[in-house]
Amino acid sequence: MQVEHSILVNAAPERLFALYADVSNWHRWDPDTKAASINGPFQVGTTGSLTPTKGNTVRMLITSVVPNGSFTVEAKVPLFRMVFEHELVPAKGATRVTHRVIFSGALAFLLGRMVAAQLNKGLPITLAKLKASAEAVRKADGQESQG
């Protein structure tokens, strides 16, 4: 089972990836995240934690990083695993951003349905806020270079 949402952002993949790599500030553009942190650099094998606005803190592991292209984080609870994929694809002066969550494990059928319903409501809002954050910085950078 999986949930996937995409949005077109008028910013370079590098700008979006910088927002991703700034884990302690995910809460600024992800309203479903109360706090997040990692125990080292933004690279494969680094562990951390994420506290959702509703629910308990979960440990996370960065399992894939392609600079300015994608990253994947995995979170596990007993009998349930969530893989969060984030992709950045250049698209005619903009970037197509896709967030995908894949559920597996013995409780995936039960918990996956509940989490999927929340994600289908929350991911479009998260993507819109990520877009606004990336585009606001882009506009600010443009204004600074003109002045």
Indicate the pTM of the whole model.
Answer: 0.89
Q: Which is higher by pLDDT, 10 or 54? A: 10
Render pLDDT for 4-47 as a digit per residue (tens, 0 to 9). 999 999 999 999 999 999 999 999 999 999 999 999 999 999 99
Strand order in the sheet with 58-66: 2-9, 94-104, 80-91, 70-77, 58-66, 47-52, 33-38
> What's the CA gap between 11 and 95, in Å, rounded?
6
How far is residue 93 from each of residues 24, 66, 90, measured CA to CA in Å? 28, 20, 7
Structural domains for the chain:
2-142 (3.30.530.20)
Residue 147's pLDDT band (boundaries 50, 70, 90)?
Answer: very low
Q: Please state the length of the chain.
A: 147
Q: What residues form DSSP beta bridges with 91?
A: 94
